[in-house]
């Protein structure tokens, strides 16, 4: 127990870094939406990502890990992620940040429902119950029939579906490709997709002195957030990490209130709490099962 406590403390620090990174990316996305469309944001973000990934591969001497094996699966994964990220950036620009984050939390629920179809994983009773609780939370956040379903709410909800599909395709890719290879093709392919999509209207807005820092922040924050989460999961169980991740919601709610005068919506907070309860139920059950069967390999996403 004495050695476990410092690890949990370190995991909390890593998750604090992840929360700060995700919040920074949302703020930068909101600020950039005034000047750049979502395709341009994704293009410039990917250019920053290419530079960072190339530097890491060079310093670690791991360029040999980059290959074209399963390049089609890389393509599918990156189209899915590109779509989800564009939907997310649009939602960030038109609805309260807390509402975006609350709906984004449904991603694990969609993974639970889609994995049996795409990965042939078993849909257990606990997983089904977790999904039902999660959807109850979605209804509390969106409140269909009580308030009109805006485009922002719909795109935020759909972004979670595409992020879930990205997670599932990533799980398939990790059997054949290293993290460095996956990140290389992610940044390169999404830069190409961003360039094509942003140039459809015949014009691409170039970075200015005022937008360049935010574009750099978007590119760095996304990579840093996932790096922090990966390190947190490496030293602490998911049942510890997931509750820390939920702290993103009250954090971004306060940020939205202070910076953009967004009101604190009790339905959004309540719905997010219900969504979190469904996710935590599944994480706790999976963690308990893995402890009960120590010979089974456990994977951290």
The lowest-confidence range among 190-194, 225-229, 256-260 is: 225-229
Q: Give the pLDDT of residue 2.
A: 44
- Asked if residue 296 has pLDDT above 60, the reply is no
Q: Give the pLDDT of residue 22.
A: 94
3-state secondary structure of 233: helix
C-alpha dist (Å) from residue 109 to 2, 37, 84, 116, 230: 34, 29, 16, 12, 20
DSSP class of residue 297 equals -
Kindly report, residue by residue over 190-217, the tens digit of the pLDDT. Answer: 999 999 999 998 899 999 999 999 999 9
pTM of the model: 0.88
**Average pLDDT value over all residues in the chain:** 89
**Confidence class of residue 299 from pLDDT cuts 50, 70 and 90?**
very low
- The mean pLDDT of 67-71, rounded to a whole number, is 94
Q: Quick one: tokens of 130?
A: 């977790």
Q: What share of the chain is helix, strand, coil (3-state, %, to 5)?
A: 75, 0, 20
- Asked if residue 234 has pLDDT above 50, the reply is yes
Decide which of 5 and 33 is more confident: 33
Kindly report, residue by residue over 76-122, the tens digit of the pLDDT. Answer: 999 999 999 999 999 999 999 999 999 998 998 999 899 899 888 88
The lowest-confidence range among 30-34, 43-47, 186-190, 235-239 is: 235-239
Phi, psi (rounded to 5 degrees) for 131 = -65, -40
Give the domain ranges of the chain: 4-292
Q: Give the pLDDT of residue 291.
A: 60
Q: Would you say how long the chain is, in residues? A: 301
Do 191 and 47 form a contact (C-beta atoms < 8 A)?
A: yes
**Confidence class of residue 8 from pLDDT cuts 50, 70 and 90?**
confident
């Amino acid at each position: 127990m004495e050695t476990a406590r410092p690890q949990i403390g370190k995991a909390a620090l890593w998750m604090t870094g992840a929360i700060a990174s995700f919040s920074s990316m949302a703020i930068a996305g909101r600020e950039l939406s005034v000047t750049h469309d979502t395709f341009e944001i994704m293009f410039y973000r990917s250019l920053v990502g290419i530079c960072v990934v190339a530097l890491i591969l060079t310093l670690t001497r791991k360029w040999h890990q980059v290959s074209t094996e399963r390049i089609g699966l890389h393509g599918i994964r990156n189209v899915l992620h590109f779509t989800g990220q564009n939907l997310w950036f649009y939602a960030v620009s038109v609805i309260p940040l807390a509402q975006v984050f609350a709906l984004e939390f449904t991603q694990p629920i969609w993974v639970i429902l889609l994995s049996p179809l795409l990965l042939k994983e078993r849909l257990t009773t606990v997983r089904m119950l977790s999904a039902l609780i999660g959807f109850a939370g979605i209804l509390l956040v969106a409140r269909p029939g009580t308030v009109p379903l805006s485009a922002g709410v719909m795109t935020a909800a759909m972004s979670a579906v595409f992020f879930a599909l990205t997670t599932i395709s990533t799980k398939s890719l990790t059997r054949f490709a290293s993290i460095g290879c996956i990140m290389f093709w992610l940044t390169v392919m999404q830069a190409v997709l961003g360039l094509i999509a942003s140039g459809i209207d015949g014009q691409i807005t170039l970075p200015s002195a005022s937008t360049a820092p935010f574009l750099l922040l978007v590119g760095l924050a996304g990579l840093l957030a996932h790096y922090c989460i990966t390190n947190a999961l490496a030293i602490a169980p998911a049942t510890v990490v997931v509750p820390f991740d939920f702290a993103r919601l009250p954090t971004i709610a306060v940020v939205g209130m202070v910076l953009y005068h967004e009101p604190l919506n009790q339905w959004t907070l309540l719905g997010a709490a219900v969504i979190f309860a469904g996710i935590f139920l599944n994480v706790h059950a999976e963690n308990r099962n893995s402890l009960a069967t120590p010979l089974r390999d456990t994977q951290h996403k």
